[in-house]
Amino acid sequence: MSNLVQTAYDRALEFALRAQPTFRNIVDKKPVAQAMPGSSVVFELYQDLAQQITPLNELVDPDAVAAGQPTTVTVTLNEYGNAILVSNKLDLFSFTDVTAGLVNQVAWNLIDSIDLIVQNVLQAGTQVIRQNGDPATVNPTYNGGTTAGVTTASIYSSKAIRLAVAKLRFQKVHPNKGSYYTTYISPEVSMDLRAETGNAAWRPPHEYSSAGNIWAGEIGEYEGSVFIETPRVNYALTGAGAAVNVFQTYTVGQQALAEAVAEEFHTVRGPVVDKLTRFQPLGWYGVAGWSLYRPESLIRTETTASIHTTGA
C-alpha cells in the first residue's frame, strides 16, 4: 500500500533572510517651500560674511561689502520601479497563497532597491579615511592613501573613528544624535573595533533607556559617535591586488543627504490587459532623487574586516 504513503509539504513558506533598511534614515534635508514641480530640485545655501576684525574709525563711514553668492545643490529626480507577472495557472495550481508571497517580495524589493540607491550616493562622498596597513603601526589617513592600499591587515580601529569625529567637529558639522554623530558599520568590521585591547579601546555600549534604539540596530556610543551595525554596507574586492575586500563605514552628521520626492514609493497592482485575463502584474514605483547636501557632514572610511578579507 505504498500509494498511501506520500511526501507532505508545509504550506506556510518562509522568506529569505533580510536586513533592516538603514540608509534612507540618514535623510534629514527635504524641500521646505518648493516653487513648482520639476525634473530636479535646486537647494541654495547662504554663505557667511568674512570676519571683520579691524576697529572702526570714528570719523570714517565704513564701506559696504558684497554678500556672498549662495551655493547650490541640485537633486535630480528619476523614476524607479520593478514588476512581475502572476499567472492564473500558478494561482490555481499552487498549494499555498502564492500571490500574497509575491506581494511581500515586491514590497521588500522596493525597500531593498531604494536603500542601495541611497547608499551609492553616500559612497560617492568626497571625504574619505583610508587604513593602508596595520593600525597598530600605521595611522589612518584623511583624504590620503588609496583603496588599492587596503591590505589584509588594514582593519578598522579607534584611531579611525577618532579621526572622523575630529574632522566633523573641526568642520562645524552638527551632530545628529544629541551630542553624537552616527556611524553605520558592518558587523564584521565592528568586530575588529570591539576586539581592541588597552585603555583606549572599545568600551562596553551604554544601556539604552528605550528599546527603540536597540531595534534600530544601535550597539552603543563610542568616541563621539553612535554606532549602528548593518550588513547592508557595500564591500568589494578592490583592495591590494584586487584581492582584498574593502568595506565602507559611514560617519555622518546633520544634513549630509538631501532628498526630493515627486511621487512616494508604493506597490502597484497593474491592470489585466491580456486577452484571456491570465496575467496579473504586481510591482512597485516611485519618483525621487538624492544628493549630498553638505559633503562635509559625511566621512567614509575604507578598511577590510579581519574575518572577511576575501570572497563574497
Set of cell numbers at residue 273? 490587459
HEC sequence for the chain: CHHHCCCCCCCCCCCCCCCCCCHHHHCCECCCCCCCCCCEEEEEECCCCCCCCCCCCCCCCCCCCCCCCCEEEEEECEEEEEEEEEEHHHHHHCCCCHHHHHHHHHHHHHHHHHHHHHHHHHHCCCCEEECCCCCCCCCCEECCCCHHHCCCCCECCHHHHHHHHHHHHHCCCCCCECCEEEEEECHHHHHHHHCCCCCCCCCCCCCCCCHHHHHCCEEEEECCEEEEECCCCCEEECCHHHCCEEEEEEEECCCCEEEEEEEEEEEEECCCCCCCCCEEEEEEEEEEEEEECCHHHEEEEEEECCCCCCCC
Question: Which residue(s) pair with 141 in the sheet?
Answer: 130
Question: Which residue(s) pair with 76 in the sheet?
Answer: 40
Please give the pLDDT value at position 264.
Answer: 96
Set of cell numbers at residue 185? 558599520
Task: Give the start-to-end residue ranges of the domains of the chain.
Answer: 19-47+69-121+258-292, 128-255+296-303
Please give the pLDDT value at position 199.
Answer: 64
Cα dihedral 52→54→58→60 (10° resolution): -70
Q: pLDDT by residue for the chain (312 residues), tens digit each?
A: 888 898 888 888 888 888 888 899 999 999 999 999 999 999 999 999 999 999 999 999 999 999 989 999 999 999 999 999 999 998 899 888 888 889 999 999 999 999 999 999 999 999 999 999 999 999 999 999 999 999 999 999 999 999 999 999 999 999 999 999 999 999 999 999 988 876 666 655 444 445 555 445 567 888 999 999 999 999 999 999 999 999 999 999 999 999 999 999 999 999 999 999 999 999 999 999 999 999 999 999 999 999 999 988
Please give the pLDDT value at position 206.
Answer: 47
Phi/psi class of residue 241: alpha, beta or left (left: φ > 0; alpha: ψ in -120 to 50)? left
Distance CA 262, CA 128 (A): 31
Please give the pLDDT value at position 216.
Answer: 53
Question: Which residue(s) pair with 142 in the sheet?
Answer: 129
CATH class, 19-47+69-121+258-292 region? alpha beta
Distance CA 65, CA 304 (A): 50
Which CB contacts under 8 angstroms, 24+ apart, belong to 5-14?
9/95, 11/95, 11/96, 12/96, 13/96, 13/101
Q: How many CB atoms lie within 10 A of CB 182?
A: 20
Q: What is the pTM of this model?
A: 0.89
Distance CA 162, CA 200 (A): 11
Distance CA 112, CA 21 (A): 7
Please give the pLDDT value at position 208.
Answer: 46
